[in-house]
């Protein structure tokens, strides 16, 4: 006997089929469809059928991108430019409001959409929630969230807030996740490291976009212990509470109550919930969600949702603040470890250190310059492969050992680095590192002789007065810490009069998605164009023009220039 066709009249959808999946979506107030990892629609709810004027049979099994996604002119959106398709293929949460869906009759509807992951234990995909922007007046809020919508919101909060370590960016993402989905106003008050309260964000939904009310942002009065009004209690860590204009219409009990009354008057908020943003140890601030059009005022049923939002926001902000403190410690330690440059007659010298934007990448780069007992000048640029405080500490050990060897033994740079490599492996516990050690000697009328060895570091760049450039690729050997203790080579060169020598770390030339050759070519071209500038201006402008915008590493730069002596003639140098 043949199995009954599940799609036939009287049949049942299989346990993991579209019928059951669509039934699971029926509890969602917003229109929703479920797509697999290729963007094929597996299930759709009745709200989506009605909104799109398409029956489920016309949607199921179709590529959601090809069937629905259009631009404002009704043209298909290129696959590479469709934000929903990119989010589905990448398996990551995303949201937006600049897309149109094609209805069954060919007309267009502008939609706000949210994509988040779906996993019921037997089937994975991406859940696409959407509503039409022409359904509601700008600034209006959604119906109460279903349980699945809440889970989608929580998942997106966790993903988006924990993927940044910048406090301002975390706040920006927070308000974009809750406005206009839950409210048409979001207000964030934070307690600073010094204990002061600052209103950091007052944002509302207007004309289809978020707008900041800057005149309401700024320092706030202190939080009094005796005040029992909702914001004061939230900033002391008390439970979330409802509030409205009437809450702050009586005699204010504090300066912060006066500011909160001004907020309600200026924004027209008619209903609000206010909750504390708690970190692991302290209260970090408070979040106020407000609705100025009160068709759906907040109720006590909304307080658990706010508590969950502020809990996740608190963990993200706590991590961001801890990261920022760690960054400041690393950067301060790094700057204190970097030396003052020596004053050498007839030789200009300057250096720069630019910390990484990410605290985890601060600490490994360094420069050094010092005068040796025989009058020569030692020049060093290096990079410990590792980050943060450990890298800064390892860098300090390497620098101190290198100075000790260079001072105590009058040997070529190669021998100094060989001894340093062997000692570092046994004594410092440092990770691998790269460096260039050079010895610059004034040999009288011929000028300055440069002798160097390179342990796996980007090559120094030499620029003549007339802008001819040359990378010093000789004297190259493996980086420190590999355990390969082979003899290292030296290279020598007579510097042309008025020439500029540039020593730098890889953060100046490396950029994600491009080759190192591209970065070296960019550095060479910019250095040639700036050769006629004074040394300080040369260094600053070179950093500004060359350091990649996407660079996430710190950068150390050491530049020097030989003076032009009487009788010197410019020397032509092969590029």
Spatial separation of the C-alpha atoms in residues 392 and 400, rounded to whole Å: 12
- Taking every pair of Cα atoms in the chain, the longest distance, rounded to a whole number of angstroms, is 107
Closest CA to 159 of 259, 70, 91, 240: 91
The structure tokens 């993402």 sit at: 173
Q: Are strands 500-504 and 555-562 parallel, antiparallel or unpaired?
A: antiparallel
Residue 354: its pLDDT value, please? 85
Mean pLDDT value across residues 79-95: 78
Domains of the chain: which residue ranges?
A: 18-135, 155-327, 339-562
Mean pLDDT value across residues 64-74: 86
Give the number of other Cβ atoms within 10 Å of residue 262's Cβ. 12
385 pLDDT band, cuts 50/70/90, is confident
Residue 11: its pLDDT value, please? 31
125 pLDDT band, cuts 50/70/90, is confident
- The CA distances from residue 40 to 61, 148, 472, in Å, are 6, 21, 56
End-to-end CA distance of the chain: 85
Give the number of other Cβ atoms within 10 Å of residue 415's Cβ. 16
pLDDT reading at 148 higher than 50: yes
pLDDT reading at 443 higher than 70: yes
- Contact at 8 Å (CB) between 202 and 216? yes
- List the single range of 157-161, 379-383, 540-544, 554-558 with lowest mean pLDDT: 157-161
CATH architecture of 339-562: 4-Layer Sandwich (3.60)
pLDDT reading at 380 higher than 90: yes
- Contact at 8 Å (CB) between 516 and 477? no
The structure tokens 């309401």 sit at: 216
432 pLDDT band, cuts 50/70/90, is confident
Q: Exposure pattern of 424-437 as b/e (b: 16+ CB <10 Å)?
A: bbeebebbbbbbbb
Give the number of other Cβ atoms within 10 Å of residue 449's Cβ. 15
Residue 390 burial (C-beta neighbours within 10 Å; 0-12, 13-18, 19+):
middle
Q: Which two tokens stand for residue 126?
A: 């991406």
* 198 CA to centre of own chain: 23
Same fold, 18-135 and 155-327: yes
Q: Which residues contact 50 (CB under 8 A, 6 or more apart)?
A: 31
Spatial separation of the C-alpha atoms in residues 545 and 551, rounded to whole Å: 13
Spatial separation of the C-alpha atoms in residues 460 and 504, rounded to whole Å: 7
Sheet holding 124-132, edge to edge: 41-44, 31-35, 124-132, 108-119, 94-102, 69-70
Q: Are strands 476-477 and 448-455 parallel, antiparallel or unpaired?
A: parallel
362 pLDDT band, cuts 50/70/90, is low
Most confident listed range (21-30, 104-113, 411-420): 411-420
Spatial separation of the C-alpha atoms in residues 455 and 487, rounded to whole Å: 11
- List the single range of 204-218, 318-332, 424-438, 443-457 with lowest mean pLDDT: 318-332
Mean pLDDT, all residues of the chain:
83
pLDDT in tens, 202-244: 999 887 788 899 999 999 999 988 889 999 999 999 999 999 9
Spatial separation of the C-alpha atoms in residues 418 and 109, rounded to whole Å: 70
pTM exceeds cut of 0.85: no
Spatial separation of the C-alpha atoms in residues 170 and 161, rounded to whole Å: 5
**DSSP 8-state code for residue 571:** P
In a 13 Å sphere around the CA of 327, the CA atoms on its Cβ side amount to: 18
Give the number of other Cβ atoms within 10 Å of residue 279's Cβ. 18
Spatial separation of the C-alpha atoms in residues 81 and 72, rounded to whole Å: 14
Q: Yes or no: is domain 18-135 CATH 3.30.450.20?
A: yes
Spatial separation of the C-alpha atoms in residues 51 and 132, rounded to whole Å: 8
Q: What is the C-alpha radius of gyration for the chain, rounded to an integer number of angstroms?
A: 32
The continuous run of DSSP H or E covering 492 comes out as strand 491-495
Question: 155-327: CATH homologous superfamily?
Answer: GAF domain (3.30.450.40)
Residue 566: its pLDDT value, please? 53
Closest CA to 420 of 405, 436, 431, 439: 405
pLDDT in tens, 294-325: 668 898 988 989 999 999 898 888 888 877 77
Q: In terms of pLDDT, which residue wins out, 386 or 25?
A: 25
- Contact at 8 Å (CB) between 453 and 409? no
């Amino acid at each position: 006997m043949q199995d009954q066709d599940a799609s036939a009249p009287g049949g049942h959808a299989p346990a993991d089929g579209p019928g059951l999946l669509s039934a699971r979506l029926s509890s969602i107030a917003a229109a929703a469809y479920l797509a697999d990892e290729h963007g094929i629609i597996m299930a759709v709810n009745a709200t989506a059928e009605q909104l799109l004027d398409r029956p489920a049979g016309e949607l199921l099994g179709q590529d959601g991108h090809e069937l629905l996604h259009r631009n404002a002119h009704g043209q298909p959106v290129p696959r590479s430019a469709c934000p929903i398709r990119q989010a589905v293929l990448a398996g990551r949460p995303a949201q937006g409001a600049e897309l149109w869906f094609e209805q069954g009759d060919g007309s267009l509807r502008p939609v706000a959409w949210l994509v988040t992951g779906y996993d019921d234990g037997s089937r994975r995909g991406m859940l696409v929630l959407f509503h039409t922007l022409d359904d509601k007046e700008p600034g209006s809020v959604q119906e109460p969230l279903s349980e699945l919508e809440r889970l989608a919101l929580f998942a997106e909060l966790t993903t988006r807030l924990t993927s940044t370590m910048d406090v301002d960016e975390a706040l920006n993402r927070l308000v974009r996740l809750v406005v206009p989905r839950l409210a048409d106003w979001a207000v964030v008050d934070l307690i600073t490291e010094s204990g002061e309260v600052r209103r950091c964000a007052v944002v509302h939904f207007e004309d289809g976009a978020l707008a900041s009310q800057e005149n309401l942002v700024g320092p706030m009065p202190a939080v009094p212990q005796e005040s029992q009004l909702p914001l004061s209690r939230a900033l002391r860590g008390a439970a979330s509470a409802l509030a409205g204009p009437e809450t702050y219409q009586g005699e204010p009990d504090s300066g912060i109550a006066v500011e909160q009354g001004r907020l309600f008057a200026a924004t027209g908020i008619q209903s609000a919930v206010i909750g504390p943003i708690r970190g692991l140890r302290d209260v970090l601030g408070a979040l106020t969600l407000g609705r100025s059009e009160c068709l759906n005022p907040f109720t006590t049923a909304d307080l658990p949702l706010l508590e969950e939002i502020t809990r996740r926001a608190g963990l993200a902000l706590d991590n961001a603040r801890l990261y920022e403190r760690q960054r400041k410690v690393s950067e301060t330690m790094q700057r204190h470890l970097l030396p003052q440059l020596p004053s050498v007659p007839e030789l200009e010298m300057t250096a720069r250190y630019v910390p990484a934007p990410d605290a985890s990448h601060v600490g490994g780069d360094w420069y050094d310059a010092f005068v040796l007992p025989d009058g020569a000048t030692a020049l060093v640029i290096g990079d410990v492969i590792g980050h943060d405080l450990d890298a800064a500490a390892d860098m300090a050990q390497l620098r101190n050992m290198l100075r000790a060897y260079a001072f105590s033994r009058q040997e070529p740079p190669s021998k100094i680095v060989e001894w340093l490599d062997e000692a570092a492996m046994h004594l410092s516990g440092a990770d691998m590192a790269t460096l260039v050690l050079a010895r610059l000697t004034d040999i009288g009328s011929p000028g300055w002789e440069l002798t160097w060895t390179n342990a796996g570091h980007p090559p120094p760049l030499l620029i003549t007065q007339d802008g001819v450039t040359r990378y010093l690729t000789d004297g190259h050997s493996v980086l420190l810490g590999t355990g390969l203790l082979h003899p290292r080579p030296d290279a020598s060169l007579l510097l042309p009069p008025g020439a500029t020598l540039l020593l730098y770390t890889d953060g100046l030339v490396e950029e994600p998605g491009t080759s190192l050759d591209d970065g070296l070519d960019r550095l060479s071209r910019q250095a040639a164009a700036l050769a006629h500038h004074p040394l300080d201006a040369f260094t600053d402008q070179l950093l500004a023009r060359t350091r990649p915008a996407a660079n996430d590493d710190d950068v150390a730069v050491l530049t020097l220039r030989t003076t032009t002596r009487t009788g010197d003639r410019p020397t032509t140098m092969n590029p």
